[in-house]
Amino acid sequence: MEKVELGGNVEINLQVRIIFNSENEAYDFYNSYGGILGFSIRRDFAHKSHKHKAVITCRRFVCNKAGFWREDKRDIHTKKPRAETRIECPARMGIYLMENGYYECHDFLEKHNHPLYISGTTHFICSQRKSSEIHSYEMDLADDSGINPKAIFELMGRQASGTENLGYTCQDQKNYLRIKRQNSLSYGEAGSLLRYFEDQSRNNPSFTYSMQLDSDEQITNIFWADPKMRIDYA
Cα 221 to Cα 48, 82, 174, 193, 217: the distances in Å are: 32, 24, 16, 13, 12
Question: DSSP states of 50-95 as a string?
Answer: SS-TT-EEEEEEEETT-S-PPP--S-TT-SSPPP--------EEEE
- The answer to whether 29 and 7 are in contact (CB under 8 A) is no
**Cβ-Cβ contacts under 8 Å for 182 (sequence gap 6 or more):** 218, 219, 220
Confidence at residue 35, expressed as pLDDT on a 0 to 100 scale: 81
| DSSP sequence for 140-166 | HHHHHTT--HHHHHHHHHHHTTSGGGS
More confident residue, 24 or 15: 24
Average pLDDT for 7-25: 69
Residue 150 neighbours by CB distance under 10 Å: 11
pLDDT of 61 > 90? The answer is: yes
189-228 per-position pLDDT tens digit = 667 788 888 888 888 888 888 888 766 666 778 889 988 8
pLDDT band at 59 (very low <50, low <70, confident <90, very high): very high
What pLDDT, on a 0 to 100 scale, did the predictor assign at position 156? 76
CB atoms within 10 A of CB 30: 25
Average pLDDT on 150-177 reads 74
- Select from 14, 11, 198 the least CA-distant residue to 106: 14
- Distance in angstroms (rounded) separating the CA atoms of residues 141 and 219: 23
Q: Please compute, for residue 88, the number of CA atoms within 13 A of its CA located in the half-sphere on the CB side.
A: 1
Q: What is the pLDDT of residue 1?
A: 37
Instruction: Give the span between the Cα atoms of 226 and 222, in whole angstroms.
Output: 14
